[in-house]
Amino acid sequence: MAIRASPVAGLSLLPTPPSSSNSSNQLVMLRKPLKTSFFNGGGISYLKLGSLIHQRVRLHRCLSHKKKIKTTQSVAAAVPPSSIGNADYRKKLSESYGFTQIGEPLPDNVTLKDIVETLPKKVFEIDDVKAWKTILISVTSYALGIFMISKSPWYLLPLAWAWTGTAITGFFVIGHDCAHKSFSKNKLVEDIIGTLAFMPLIYPYEPWRFKHDRHHAKTNMLVEDTAWQPVWKEEFDSVPALRKAIIFGYGPFRTWMSIAHWVMWHFDLNKFRPNELKRVKISLSCVFAFIAVGWPLIIWKTGLVGWVKFWLMPWLGYHFWMSTFTMVHHTAPHIPFKTSDEWNAAKAQLNGTVHCNYPSWIEILCHDINVHIPHHISPRIPSYNLRAAHKSLQENWGKYLNEANWNWRLMKTIMTVCHVYSEEQNYVGFDEIAPSVSQPITFLKKVMPNSA
């Protein structure tokens, strides 16, 4: 039996399923050519030399994304495509990666329509009372957070910021539902609520909506997915001066990388179609109006330190959750990215999405956004119906689901392994590609808890 080395420091080696030709229990480390197809992972531009990265991304997207680059690295044995179908192997992967369950592969003949049709019709129903209840929860929890910040001594401020940052993440989820047309039966109301919910976050509603719709249409598709993607090794190798910035961005700073993604994707008019520009400009005007009016008011009433206390720190807390949720939803060593000709919608949405349980107070303030698999099966399901939809998926498709309870091992796996795209292994860590400059990753492997 071949052994695949666990990519997380301190975790046990994982066996691949036994084959008929080799059932021994030897540890085999292979030195072999690694065939790879790489692309830029969105967001590095915020860290350093942004314009250069933008230019290179445009160049690479004009090239064939199937171009192969061969490098020789000392790596663990690649997992055979059939390995994930072995129940014992999946159980070991689950324990190693910090999951409670890694789903078995979805059969090729199952379509997304097949899955949607098993969901109860009631989970698609919009309930205005429940929708406005989410607003009440978010406004109340945010007001409580501001009160806590105003009254807390300095040593309790981090707790107040954590609460308030989580509360305004709820604003994002409300705007998120509006963008998917799952908040209200009145579409004008949805656009107004969505714009208002996003304004304190300095998020332009329409630009985000257009890009997010493409994420749902092309989840985990190479190049085309507009959410986070692995790093393209060609990009990583081409600009040595940027290597450290990229490593820090996908390693220690990854829990705030949504800031980079926010800057890169939502303010550049060149990234939108001509028929989208009018709505994009309206959203940008609303965001800049909030900056022009809201920030001076905060500073006038509380001073520059008050702006940091009452706006900046909760905003950073929001981006912590934005980054963390985004990472966990679609990132794991066993979840592949596929080229457009190999991509399968049902597999990408069911097998390529992760359900993760967080502490109850986070789930309540964030309106169950982490009940994420049904949301990818159909974005038209309102947030308050996601749990009922997930229960139905568990009953009908449970063995195919990826599920986890939030834990340090899960985060450690993502932050120290899921870096550079590999066609054969899904991901290769920076410390395998460039060990001489990957001290931030080796540091994380040493200091991050391994508890699940």
pLDDT in tens, 177-209: 999 999 999 999 999 999 999 999 999 999 999
Residues 6+ apart with CB under 8 A from 131: 177, 183, 184, 382, 384
The answer to whether the CB of 418 falls within 8 A of the CB of 427 is: yes
Whole-number Å distance between alpha carbons of 36 and 421: 7
Q: CB-hemisphere CA count at 13 Å for 194? A: 25
Q: Report which of 353, 377, 381, 378 is spatially closest to residue 367, judged by C-alpha positions.
A: 381
Question: H or E segment at 33?
Answer: strand 29-36
CA dist., res. 211 & res. 201, Å (int): 17
Residue 168 and residue 136 in contact, taking contact as beta carbons nearer than 8 Å: no
Q: Two tokens at 117?
A: 């049709």
SS3 11: coil
Q: What are the C-alpha distances in Å from 149 to residues 35, 118, 160?
A: 52, 46, 5
| Widest pairwise Cα distance in the chain | 75
The residue type found at 266 is H
Residue 379: which residues within 8 A CB-CB, separation 6 or more? 180, 182, 216
Q: How far apart are the first and last CA of the chain?
A: 27
| Residue with tokens 């109850």, as numbered in its chain | 360
The backbone torsions φ and ψ at residue 308, rounded to the nearest 5 degrees and listed phi first, read -65, -45
The 3 state secondary structure assigned to 379-443 is CCCCHHHHHHHHHHHHHHHHHHCEEEECCHHHHHHHHHHCCEEECCCEEECHHHHCHHHCHHHHH
* Segment 141-151, tens digit of pLDDT: 999 999 999 99
Residue whose entry in the numeric block shows the structure tokens 């990132």:
331
Q: How far apart are CA 16 and CA 20, in angstroms?
A: 13
Per-residue pLDDT of the chain (452 residues; tens, 9 = 90+): 333 334 444 443 344 443 333 333 332 333 333 333 333 333 333 344 343 344 444 344 444 444 433 333 333 333 444 567 788 999 999 999 999 999 999 999 999 999 999 999 999 999 999 999 999 999 999 999 999 999 999 999 999 999 999 999 999 999 999 999 999 999 999 999 999 999 999 999 999 999 999 999 999 998 899 888 899 888 888 888 889 999 999 999 999 999 998 988 899 999 999 999 999 999 999 999 999 999 999 999 999 999 999 999 999 999 999 999 999 999 999 999 999 999 999 999 999 999 999 999 999 999 999 999 999 999 999 999 999 999 999 999 999 999 999 999 999 999 999 999 998 889 999 999 999 999 999 999 999 999 98
Q: CA angle, corner 127, sides to 126 and 128, nearest 5? A: 110
**Burial class (CB within 10 angstroms; exposed 0-12, middle 13-18, buried 19+) of 438:** buried
Query: What would the two tokens of residue 306 be?
Result: 């008050």
Q: How many residues does the chain have?
A: 452
